Amino acid sequence: MGFFGNFSLSKIKDGLSKTRDKIVNSITEAVTGKAVLDSTTLDSLEEKLIQSDFGAETTDRIITAVREKIVRSKTRTSEELISTIKDVCIKILDETGADSIYDLRAIESKPKIILVMGVNGAGKTTTIGKLANNLKKEGLKVVVGAGDTFRAAANNQLEVWADRAGVKIIQKEKADPSSVVFETVEFAMKNNYDAVLIDTAGRLHTKTELMEELKKIERVIKKLIPSAPHEVFLVLDGNSGQNTTIQMEEFNKAIKVSGLIITKLDGTAKGGSLIQISSKYKIPVRFIGVGEGIDDLQNFDSVSYLNAIFGN
């Protein structure tokens, strides 16, 4: 289950209970009492899938699979339907390369530079705190760079997390974000650190100058280490539903995203959007946030995720 010792199936299950209720109930509702899966029932199923944030493309794939498998078979239980839908989702997640053995500790070159970006309030700083804590616990020498110089409170917030995790932080008041990033990477290189986690300010993907700032951060990192950043994580709020696809597109244009972190999956009914974004962009989800605590970040394991929604 990856490198997080805190992997917890029950946490994932609890977190995804609203998503599970929404998806499974609405699918069951669409087909219950229907002796035949005629086009009206399939239309209704299609509508429910769209409402569950699967997106048009995934919904098409599911409806095609349902047509092929279920319409022709004699037994048409809702269990069979759910298992067909789950199979499509397994394929979609497999195609992204998301797997439970992904290991953030793997260090191709030292220091490993991990850049974290996303819109305002997505959960970047919290996630960095959780990642720092986990990497530190695994014995890695970790430094976090306070690349969010936009809000005065941002530095304090990251500092609190760095303290909690017991890792070094590099911060500079009122500085240009890329200069903080430069200093952090340089510090890590000079002092033989294993991993650098870089926090960035939340930004609207529609703000061109802020997206340019991200590109500048990447350029600055490359000046010091041409192969870096080694991971570029886009943090997406699991509650955003449809809006996540546009964020994905715009951030990916600025810096190529290597992995996704979906936060706040606890308590949202929009967990289906994770499937939508996986299907559309084929970028692996690496971690999911299931709470605000330091231990509430889990390695993404597609099988556990789908079991939590659809049952085993």
Ligand X SMILES: Nc1nc2c(ncn2[C@@H]2O[C@H](COP(=O)(O)OP(=O)(O)OP(=O)(O)O)[C@@H](O)[C@H]2O)c(=O)[nH]1
Instruction: Report the interface residues with ligand X, using CB under 6 A.
Output: 118, 120-126, 148, 154, 202, 263-264, 266, 289-292, 296
- Output the six-digit token pair for 207: 């703000």
| Candidate ranges 64-72, 124-132, 219-227, 250-258; the one touching Mg ion (CB under 5 A) | 124-132
User: By beta-carbon distance, which residue lies closest to ligand X?
Assistant: 202
Nearest to 271 by CA among 245, 232, 238: 238
CA proximity to 288, closest of 102, 120, 27, 140: 102
Binding mask 12-31 for Mg ion (x = CB under 5 A): --------------------
Pair of tokens at residue 223: 């000046």
Taking CB under 5 A as the criterion, the residue among 19, 58, 125, 304 binding Mg ion is 125
Check: CB of residue 233 under 8 Å from CB of residue 258. yes
At 192 the three-state DSSP class reads coil
Q: Does 127 bind Mg ion (CB under 5 A)?
A: no
Question: Which one of ligand X, Mg ion, none is in contact with 289 (Cβ closer than 5 to 8 A by kind)?
Answer: ligand X
Site for Mg ion in 77-96 (CB under 5 A): none
Whether the link from the prior residue into 229 is cis, omega within 30° of 0, is yes
Which of the listed partners (Mg ion, ligand X, none) does 53 bind, with a CB threshold of 5 to 8 Å by partner kind?
Answer: none
Least separation in angstroms between CB 271 and ligand X: 12
Nearer residue to ligand X within complex by CB, 58 or 149? 149
Note the helical H segments in 166-300. 177-190, 208-224, 243-254, 273-281
List of residues contacting Mg ion (CB under 5 A): 124-125
